[in-house]
Each structure stands twice: as C-alpha cells, then as structure tokens.
Chains A and B, each alone.
Chain A
Amino acid sequence: MPGLPQHLADRLQNVVYSELSVAYLEIDANLVLVGSGGHLSNHGLADLQLGAPAVEQAYFLEGLLPLFESPYFVPSVELAGGRVADLHFHLESGTTWLLLLDVTAERDGKRRLQQKAYEMTLLEEKQAQLNCRLEAANAALLATQRELEAARDAIREELRRKQIELTEARTLQLALVPPPYRDAPGNCALTVDVVLEPAKEVGGDLVDHFCIGSNLLVLVLGDVSGKGAAAALMMARTHSLFRGLAERPDAAELFGKPEAALRIVNRTLSAGNASCMFVTLLIAAYDVAATRLTYVRAGHLPPFLRRLEGTLEKLAHAGGPPLGLLQEAVYASASVDLSPGDQLLIFTDGITEASDPADRLFGDANVANFVAQCEVRGPALLQGLLKRVEAFEDGLPPSDDKAAILLGLESRQQA
C-alpha cells in the first residue's frame, strides 16, 4: 500500500496473517509439494509431506492443477477439518502458490442470513403449494356441488313429473266416483251418497253405484290391499269389471243375485294375480219392487243398517273370501227387507282403523254409536262421520283411504 510506513505495513501483515490463519502451499510444475507454511493445521493440512504429489495430500486440489489461469480464486471452500477457506492460486515461474485464508466466521455470518432467506422462500413456496391444493380441492368441491345440484334438479324434475302424473291419476280416480243418486223408482225415494278420501294422491278404495234397469240399484264398496299406484290400478280394474258386467244383457240376473257377479269378477282378478293383491268388497243390490236388499260380503267389514225408529243392525252375514285370492271361491248372499226411513252405511277400514296419537283405533263401536245417534241423514251424516274421525286422529295424517256409501230410503212424503 503506497505511503504506508513499513512498520504499519508489517503490522497489517501480521494482523492478516494471524486473524485469517493464513497458510500456503508451494507446488512445482510436476504437481509435487515442494513447500508449505503458515497455519496449516487450522486447515486440516498438518501432515503434509514435501516431495510427495500435492493432490494426493490435499484432495480438494483435484481438477484444479495444473493451473490454467492465474491468479485464480476459489471462495469459501469447507475442507475436511471443518474450517472454511478462500483459496488464492498464483502461478509464478512454473511454480503454483496456493494461499489459504480462513473465512469461517464470514461464511457463518453469510449462512445465517442465507438460511433465513431460504427458509422464508421455502415457506412462501409451501404456502403457494398449499394454496394450489386448496384451490384444486375447492374446484373439485365446486364440481361435485354442481354435479349434486344437477342431480338434485333432475330428481326434482322427476318428482315434479311424477307429481303431475299422480295428480292426473287422482283426478281420473275420483272421476270414477259417481255423483249422488236421487230417484223415486218405487214406493219410496232412494238416495245414495258417497265419500272417497285417498290417504295419498291415489288410493285403493272403490266406490260405485249404478242402476240395472229400473228395478235394481247396485252398490259396490271395495278396499284393495296395499296403497298407492298399484292399489289404484287394481281398484280401477275391479271397477271396470263390475261396470262391464252391468252392460251385459243378463246384468239384471247377474246383479239380482250379486254373488253371481262377484264370482265372475273374482275369477278374473284371481287369474294371473302374481302380486297376490286382493280386494275386500261389499256388493249390495236393492230390488225396488221387493224393497229388499241382497248383499254379499267378500271379506269386507259388515255394514250398519239404521232403521227408521233408530235401532241399528249389523249386516254380518259372511259371504266369502276377498276377491283375487281363490279363483274357485264360492260366495253366498244374504237379504234384508228395507223400509222407508232406513239408512244403510257401508264403509272401509280406513274409518274403523283410523288411529289417535295414543295409537288407539276408532273402531266399529264408534261408527255404530255415531250412526245410531246421528240426527242428520244423507251427505250430512257422511261428512259428520268423517269429521268425527278427523277429530279422533287429532292432526295425524290419515293412514289409509277412507270410503263410505250411504243408502237412504225415504217415504215419498219425506223426499
């Protein structure tokens, strides 16, 4: 350093020499170590042998000699002893000089800074990766959500379509229920009123009445096993079978002895009845001229006959098994004479088996009591009965279809 007094230059040299633990190697043109000095042990080079190949003793020199560029600098090399040195190569007259300057402290300082920087970068990378995964997971969730929404919409559409179909089916089924009958074909006026309340959109209860000629009024009330669409189809089939028979030329004979009509319908329903559905049914034919009611119970509940004076009779004569079970089933009828003022109530078990919140059944006895004590007739009696049942259910949804037919005989004066 120009201008620096010699004693200060010497001082500087001593400081550098001691603080950087300077060591040197002298290597000749044959790559043989010919000289060494300084703080060699600091750099793990304490056991050097002069006159031996330099690279064999200091393996970090592998590939660097012979020197092809001078001066040549290799910074921050951690050697076997764990110390870090800057390597300064210098070629002079065929001899390679290597100065080793200890920079361990400097390296450690740099490493602390670099470590923090890298850790920060790694954290950022990790965060970016996590964000990517979250975005991918989010996208997958959104895709799944869209699929679910599409599936839900398809199901809703299917439900809506089915609901429309069921509504149409209900309309058709209720259209099978005939209007009230009012006529006076004989000595007294006849009234027939009906109710049908399917528990679901469509039901399996059958309500029908029709005239055969001018002398026969036929009442049909049935209850198909099961509920819903299958029961409704079975009900419609049964209905059409009776209506078909009513169109035959021998209808008066068939329905005059209603067990004959019942036998035919039973045979048809029993044939190929793979699902084993059946119909409990009561058919009653009122002979206007004879003022006599002939009825057959095919496994159905007995109807109640309220006489003019208020007495109640249960028409419990057994007629035969439900329709559809035994192709060769035999049915027997029973007859009862009717008088003006009498009322006949035929009903299904949707009324007697209606249950209250305590799971008790409405039962036959309540129906009988109601009919016996009721002071109104005709449709008012039927509506009153349904209201009584509804009150009994106390808000519970109906568990079964409810259907009933009320036949009333009125004297001409009453009518």
Chain B
Amino acid sequence: MTAQLQKKICMLGGFSVGKTSLVRRYIQSVFSDAYLTTVGVKVDKKTVDLPDKTVNLIIWDLAGEDDIQSLRMSYMRGASGYVLVADGTRHTTLDVALSLRDRVESEYGSLPFVLLLNKNDLTDQWTVSDAEIASMRQKGWWVRSSSARNGEGVEDAFKDLATRLSR
C-alpha cells in the first residue's frame, strides 16, 4: 500500500505574475488570457503520485503582493513549502518575490520552495538575465522558467516541491 501524505503549500508572488494561472494549468490543464485578480486566497487540492508515495498538495493561491495590499502572513500558517512566482517580463516582480521569501523566512524559518520565472513564452520581452538565474541557483535555490500559457515547467515545479516535502 502506497503511503499517503497531505501537505499545504502556498503560491506567493507579486500581482499578475500568473500564480492563479499556474495553479489552473497544473490542476485543470487550462489557460485563459483574461486576467482576474485574486482577493484573499483560493484553496485547491492536487494529488501527486510519486514512486513511493502519494502526496495531496493543498494549494493556497494567495492574492498577489502589491502596494495597496500586503501579504497576510496568517495564510502561510501550517504551510510545508511554497512556490515563489515572478513574471520574467517584469523585473520588479522578481524583487517582490525575493522580498516575500525574506519575509517568510523571518516568520516561519527556512521552508522548501521553488522559484518560477513565469511567462517564458514572451521571450522578446524577457528581462531576467541568465547571470541572475545562475546567481540564484548558486545559492542552492530551485529556479526555473515556466509558462502557464503552454505548461512548460509547471508540472515539474510542483512535482519537485512535492518530492522534497515527502522526504
């Protein structure tokens, strides 16, 4: 019988970086160009089958961080890990993501996370350099580019996080 785990993870990042779209792509395999902002949090569940166990990811898709609404850290309570999301075409959102990581770390300690540089289908507007990505990877971070539009890198990110949470 395969062991079964249930883990809460949170989607963190600036507004309009594609957190909700990544969750929809991951859970429902769909994508919409229409932007609909998230207020509060939306909770979903996705079962990940790993070689030796099954992990139920309880995904808390948090409203984006911005000037007029700061992140409610209470949403993070009980989270085992998180997905940091930045929009690769808006460099300021990478700064927001890194700032969020610092806040989580100071409040909840070091948690497993993956950093997704989303919207990599918009290559002509890309603003994050390879050197920056290499620099973050040197810190041992799991950094990937992704596209909620075409699904690139999405499944891998959640699976990688689930694998690390299951150890």
Q: How many chain A residues touch B (Cβ–Cβ < 8 Å)? A: 28
B46-80 interface mask toward A, CB cutoff 8 Å, 1 = contact, 0 = none? 00000000001010000110111100101101111
Q: Find A122's partner among B16, B36, B44, B58 (CB 8 Å cutoff).
A: B16
Q: List 30 A-B contacts (CB under 8 A).
A: A59-B58, A62-B6, A62-B8, A63-B58, A63-B79, A64-B78, A74-B74, A75-B40, A75-B72, A76-B40, A77-B41, A77-B43, A78-B40, A78-B41, A79-B43, A80-B44, A84-B40, A107-B39, A111-B36, A114-B37, A114-B63, A114-B69, A118-B35, A118-B64, A118-B66, A119-B35, A121-B15, A121-B67, A125-B92, A129-B90
- Taking the complex as formed, is A370 at the interface, i.e. its CB lies under 8 A from any CB of chain B? no
User: Once the chains bind, are B58 and A78 in contact (CB under 8 Å)?
Assistant: no
C-alpha spacing A77/B56, complex, angstroms? 19
Q: Find A77's partner among B7, B35, B40 (CB 8 Å cutoff).
A: B40
Residue in B closest to A69 when the chains form the complex, CB atoms: B77
A62, A73, A121, A129 — which one has the most chain B CB atoms within 10 A of its CB? A62
Q: How many chain B residues touch A (Cβ–Cβ < 8 Å)? A: 33
C-alpha spacing A6/B90, complex, angstroms? 57
12 other A-B residue contacts (CB within 8 Å) besides A78-B42, A114-B39, A125-B92 = A59-B45, A62-B78, A63-B8, A64-B78, A74-B41, A75-B72, A76-B39, A76-B41, A114-B37, A115-B37, A118-B66, A125-B90
> Would you give the shortest CB distance from A354 to chain B, in whole angstroms?
62
A150-182 interface mask toward B, CB cutoff 8 Å, 1 = contact, 0 = none? 000000000000000000000000000000000
User: Once the chains bind, are B43 and A59 in contact (CB under 8 Å)?
Assistant: yes
> Would you give the shortest CB distance from A391 to chain B, in whole angstroms?
66
User: Once the chains bind, are A111 and B6 in contact (CB under 8 Å)?
Assistant: no
Contacts of A122 in B (CB 8 A): 16, 35
User: Once the chains bind, are B80 and A63 in contact (CB under 8 Å)?
Assistant: yes
Name B residues whose Cβ lies closer than 8 Å to a Cβ of A. Answer: 6-8, 15-16, 35-37, 39-45, 56, 58, 63-64, 66-69, 72, 74-75, 77-80, 90, 92, 125
Contacts of A115 in B (CB 8 A): 35-37
User: Once the chains bind, are A118 and B15 in contact (CB under 8 Å)?
Assistant: yes
Name A residues whose Cβ lies closer than 8 Å to a Cβ of B. Answer: 55, 59-60, 62-64, 72-80, 84, 107, 110-111, 114-115, 117-119, 121-122, 125, 129
> Would you give the shortest CB distance from A44 to chain B, in whole angstroms?
11
Q: Find B6's partner among A55, A75, A78 (CB 8 Å cutoff).
A: A55
Residue in A closest to B41 when the chains form the complex, CB atoms: A77
User: Once the chains bind, are A73 and B40 in contact (CB under 8 Å)?
Assistant: no
User: Once the chains bind, are B75 and A74 in contact (CB under 8 Å)?
Assistant: yes
C-alpha spacing A64/B8, complex, angstroms? 9
Residue in B closest to A68 when the chains form the complex, CB atoms: B77
User: Once the chains bind, are B68 and A117 in contact (CB under 8 Å)?
Assistant: yes
Contacts of B36 in A (CB 8 A): 111, 115
C-alpha spacing A55/B4, complex, angstroms? 14
Contacts of B6 in A (CB 8 A): 55, 59, 62
Contacts of B8 in A (CB 8 A): 62-63
Contacts of B69 in A (CB 8 A): 114
> Would you give the shortest CB distance from A65 to chain B, in whole angstroms?
8
Contacts of B35 in A (CB 8 A): 115, 118-119, 122
A62-B6, A63-B8 are contacts. A78–B43 as well, Cβ < 8 Å?
Answer: yes
C-alpha spacing A53/B3, complex, angstroms? 17
User: Once the chains bind, are A111 and B37 in contact (CB under 8 Å)?
Assistant: yes
> Would you give the shortest CB distance from B14 to chain A, in whole angstroms?
10
User: Once the chains bind, are A121 and B66 in contact (CB under 8 Å)?
Assistant: yes
> Would you give the shortest CB distance from A132 to chain B, in whole angstroms?
10
C-alpha spacing A119/B58, complex, angstroms? 29
Contacts of A73 in B (CB 8 A): 74
A63, A78, A111, A121 — which one has the most chain B CB atoms within 10 A of its CB? A63
C-alpha spacing A111/B15, complex, angstroms? 13
Contacts of B45 in A (CB 8 A): 59, 80
Q: Which 8 A-B pairs have the closest CB atoms?
A: A63-B78, A76-B40, A63-B8, A78-B42, A62-B58, A60-B43, A111-B39, A62-B8
C-alpha spacing A80/B39, complex, angstroms? 15
Contacts of B68 in A (CB 8 A): 114, 117
Contacts of A80 in B (CB 8 A): 43-45
Contacts of A59 in B (CB 8 A): 6, 43, 45, 56, 58
Contacts of B67 in A (CB 8 A): 121
C-alpha spacing A224/B15, complex, angstroms? 81
Q: Find A118's partner among B16, B40, B77, B80 (CB 8 Å cutoff).
A: B16
